[in-house]
Amino acid sequence: MAVSGGGSGAIYGGIEAGGTKWVCAVGSGRGPEDIHEPTTCPPADPQETIARAAEFFADNGSLAAIGIGSFGPIDVRRNSPTWGWITTTPKRGWARTPLVATLSEALDLPFAFDTDVNAAALGEHRWGAAADLETFCYITVGTGIGGGGMANGKLMHGLLHPEFGHMRIPHDRVRDSFDGVCPYHGDCFEGLASGDAIAARWGSPSDQLADESVWQLEADYLALGLLNMICLLSPQRIIVGGGVMQEPSLLPLVRRRITKLASGYFDTPELREEVDDYIVAPALGDRAGVLGALELARLRSRQRAI
Amino acid sequence: MAVSGGGSGAIYGGIEAGGTKWVCAVGSGRGPEDIHEPTTCPPADPQETIARAAEFFADNGSLAAIGIGSFGPIDVRRNSPTWGWITTTPKRGWARTPLVATLSEALDLPFAFDTDVNAAALGEHRWGAAADLETFCYITVGTGIGGGGMANGKLMHGLLHPEFGHMRIPHDRVRDSFDGVCPYHGDCFEGLASGDAIAARWGSPSDQLADESVWQLEADYLALGLLNMICLLSPQRIIVGGGVMQEPSLLPLVRRRITKLASGYFDTPELREEVDDYIVAPALGDRAGVLGALELARLRSRQRAI
């Protein structure tokens, strides 16, 4: 495929750099259907994975910019000497990886860099379940738990970037004696409610568990996490994606539990009869991340053109 | 005092409408020292308290606008039919109080309306500990716990407004068998760590408690709440005010505990050796709220002038 960079016909590159899957794609950034040649691979060691991504983009014509939504923690502070790095991740071999710098050696292009969840949030804002919202959360419940979103119309950043997965929630050890799987904190939100936690607690991957008590416990933990998001951020909507949410009973259980936890205090229909429109699945499904990465690239390119 | 409204010499009114104290003041909005005639009264029933505030402003010349920072929950959605109301507060007699509408009957002026903690955050942003920050939190630990702040340069709003006090945190009932004081949730953050919770747990008001174990437990709860703020919002700084923080040992204990909870995962000096500059007391002390209310009024007036 031969495509040209720059101008109104510009083509962008996007990488969803996930912990268990990398997705690379090129596209015009005009709509969710306008992606060419997406390619997916499991991440091997950093050198090999990054080299494979660089090769993909080198083969796909002249790009205006590349956007990356990466698993974290990452450094998103533009003025930091380690901007574009994956930092203290527990993922074996990936701590302190200069992701953008390594890609830049092969591809002389402008890069945008953000968390995988902020990229997915951006995709949902442009084309999906968060269109026209100023303040919303995007949370992914997969092997780990990540979260991001927008506050006052911009992607959430600050000191670093949000780390929803590592908040602390109540853990009733009488009901659930499981210690949690987080290597840093044990029974933080991710330590109790991620796909890895479910698998370790019950001895089977989450997609092989049908028992109602598995999903009731999971829904109760997720609802506690979502309630804390509501208390701290007051989002206009919460989008919940990730592999664990493939269990069809889970989202309805979470919604029911949230309305109970919020009962009375939050005087708003979104936390009562309209909860089905308040806590929702991603409209872009599992393409939210790579589409958001393309949008990051488009915005980066526009920013440079001003 | 005779002052004139409008133009560059404009005078504004500010109300810090707290749960235990109302502060009314007028001022030019030019600096923290430029407040005239602040007056303080404990809130009686809504009619009487609001009437007294209206009288104060009527006696203080021609104002360009009035800003109100109120205890909550309140309705801050400009297009809502109940904008300007105190809504589901458990404070006796104050639920469903049309605060702004009642004041408007006596004073035909533009009003700005936000939470007491967002007003205090705005004051600290203009003149205090949050100058030049885009994303920060302000939390007050008094009879209750409230929180607000800015995200991406604007005060935090969304579906409603943040309700930091009602997030859920771990509660180890072996160490602390106390059930919590929140009438809605029992052992939420406010239910465990507010001044009312301390007094109910130990049988004395917090300013009469000197035992080290009292403040160690309190610091541990506050640190859990602050850690969740960091995980969900990634603030560039956290300002902690309120009457409970008058205990001099408390802030250092909170800082020490936070660095332990964050250990290793958050790779940033603010959560290690620079924590004293990261978790701080309000620079404006107990005047942050009323100063922020004046600033709310000034911004409202400017907005109308555009």
A157 touches B: beta carbon within 8 Å: yes
Question: Which residue spans within chain B are E strands per DSSP?
Answer: 12-17, 22-27, 35-41, 66-70, 111-115, 136-141, 145-151, 154-155, 238-241, 279-280
Span B272-295, pLDDT tens digits: 999 999 999 999 999 999 999 999
Average pLDDT, chain B: 93
Question: Which residue spans within B131-220 are E strands per DSSP?
Answer: 136-141, 145-151, 154-155
Among partner residues B88, B154, B166, which is closest to A152 by beta-carbon distance? Answer: B154
What lies within 8 Å, CB to CB, of B87 at 6+ separation is A267, B72, B73, B74, B75, B95, B96
ipTM: 0.94
pLDDT exceeds cutoff 80 at A48? yes
User: What are the CA-CA distances from residue A247 to residues A137, A147, A205, A284, B11 (Å)?
Assistant: 21, 19, 12, 18, 59
* pLDDT of amino acid A2: 38
The shortest C-alpha distance from A283 to chain B (Å) reads 20
Percentage of chain B surpassing pLDDT 90? 82
Whether residue A67 contacts residue A81, with contact meaning beta carbons closer than 8 Å, is answered with no
Q: Checking DSSP bridges between strand B279-280 and strand A279-280, what pairing results, if any?
A: unpaired
Under DSSP, is residue A211 helix (H, G, I), strand (E, B) or coil? coil
Among partner residues A167, A184, A261, which is closest to B228 by beta-carbon distance? Answer: A167
Closest residue on chain B to A266 (Cα): B88
Whether residue A259 contacts residue A269, with contact meaning beta carbons closer than 8 Å, is answered with no
* pLDDT of amino acid A306: 62
B99 touches A: beta carbon within 8 Å: no
* pLDDT of amino acid A5: 44
B294 touches A: beta carbon within 8 Å: no
* pLDDT of amino acid B41: 81
pLDDT exceeds cutoff 50 at B47? yes
- State the best of A177, A267, A270, A279 to mutate against chain B, taking most chain B CBs within 10 Å: A267
Interface of B with A in 59-98 (CB under 8 A): 73, 87-88
User: What are the CA-CA distances from residue A78 to residues A149, B28, B202 (Å)?
Assistant: 19, 38, 48
Interface of B with A in 218-257 (CB under 8 A): 224, 227-236
Q: Which residues of A touch B278 (CB under 8 A)?
A: 159
The shortest C-alpha distance from A38 to chain B (Å) reads 32
C-alpha–C-alpha distance, residues B256 and B9, integer Å: 47
Using alpha carbons, select from B67, B43, B72 the residue that is nearest to residue B57. Answer: B67
* pLDDT of amino acid B225: 98
Backbone angles phi, psi at A138, to 5 degrees: -125, 125
- Global pTM reads 0.95
Span A230-273, pLDDT tens digits: 999 999 999 999 999 999 999 999 999 999 998 778 889 999 99
Q: Count CB-CB contacts under 10 A for residue B58.
A: 11
Its sign, for the CA torsion B164, B167, B173, B179, is positive
Closest residue on chain A to B151 (Cα): A151
Residue A114: which pLDDT band, with cuts at 50, 70 and 90?
A: very high
What lies within 8 Å, CB to CB, of B208 at 6+ separation is none
Whether residue B86 contacts residue B96, with contact meaning beta carbons closer than 8 Å, is answered with yes
Mean pLDDT of B39-47: 86
* pLDDT of amino acid B8: 67
Under DSSP, is residue A280 helix (H, G, I), strand (E, B) or coil? strand
* pLDDT of amino acid A304: 76
pLDDT exceeds cutoff 60 at B3? no
Mean pLDDT of B180-196: 96
**Angle formed by the axes of helices B212-233 and B195-202, nearest 10°:** 150
Span A75-90, pLDDT tens digits: 999 999 999 999 988 7
- State the best of A86, A134, A167, A220 to mutate against chain B, taking most chain B CBs within 10 Å: A167
- State the best of A145, A159, A189 to mutate against chain B, taking most chain B CBs within 10 Å: A159
CB contact under 8 A, B158 and A185: no
Residue B75: which pLDDT band, with cuts at 50, 70 and 90?
A: very high
**Cα dihedral value B49, B51, B57, B60, nearest 10:** -110
Mean pLDDT of B253-274: 92
A129 touches B: beta carbon within 8 Å: no
Task: Name residue, tokens 């009869």.
Answer: A273
A175 touches B: beta carbon within 8 Å: no
* pLDDT of amino acid A229: 98
The shortest C-alpha distance from B136 to chain A (Å) reads 8
pLDDT exceeds cutoff 60 at B46? yes
Its sign, for the CA torsion A35, A40, A46, A48, is negative
